[in-house]
């Protein structure tokens, strides 16, 4: 079983944080169509420009 370690520094910053893990088997998350992801990233990039300080 893999270990998931959260350092004490994290809890200092986020004392009320809730952490959960999900383990999935048999999932293929390889990228098949890079163009779709490029388009989504461009849309998000343009969307966050209005929030820039």
Q: Which single residue is written with the structure tokens 């893990």? A: 21
Q: Which two tokens stand for residue 8?
A: 């004490």
- 6 vs 9: CA distance, rounded Å: 8
What's the pLDDT at 11?
94
Contacts of 1 (CB under 8 A, 6+ apart): none
Mean pLDDT of the chain: 86
pLDDT, greater one: 34 or 5: 5
Task: Check pLDDT > 60 for residue 53.
Answer: no
Task: Kindly state whether residue 3 falls inside one of the protein's structural domains.
Answer: no
Q: Which two tokens stand for residue 25?
A: 């088997």
Task: Check pLDDT > 90 for residue 6.
Answer: yes
Compute the CA torsion angle 45, 13, 24, 26 (nearest 10 deg): 50
Task: Kindly state whether residue 37 falls inside one of the protein's structural domains.
Answer: yes
Q: pLDDT grade, residue 52 (50/70/90)? A: low
Task: Kindly state whether residue 2 falls inside one of the protein's structural domains.
Answer: no
Q: What's the total number of domains in the chain? A: 1
């Amino acid at each position: 079983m893999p270990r998931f370690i959260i350092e004490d520094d994290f809890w200092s910053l986020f004392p009320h944080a809730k952490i959960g893990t999900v383990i999935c088997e048999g999932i293929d998350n390889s990228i098949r169509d890079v163009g779709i992801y490029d388009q989504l990233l461009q849309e998000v990039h343009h969307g966050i420009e209005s929030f820039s300080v």
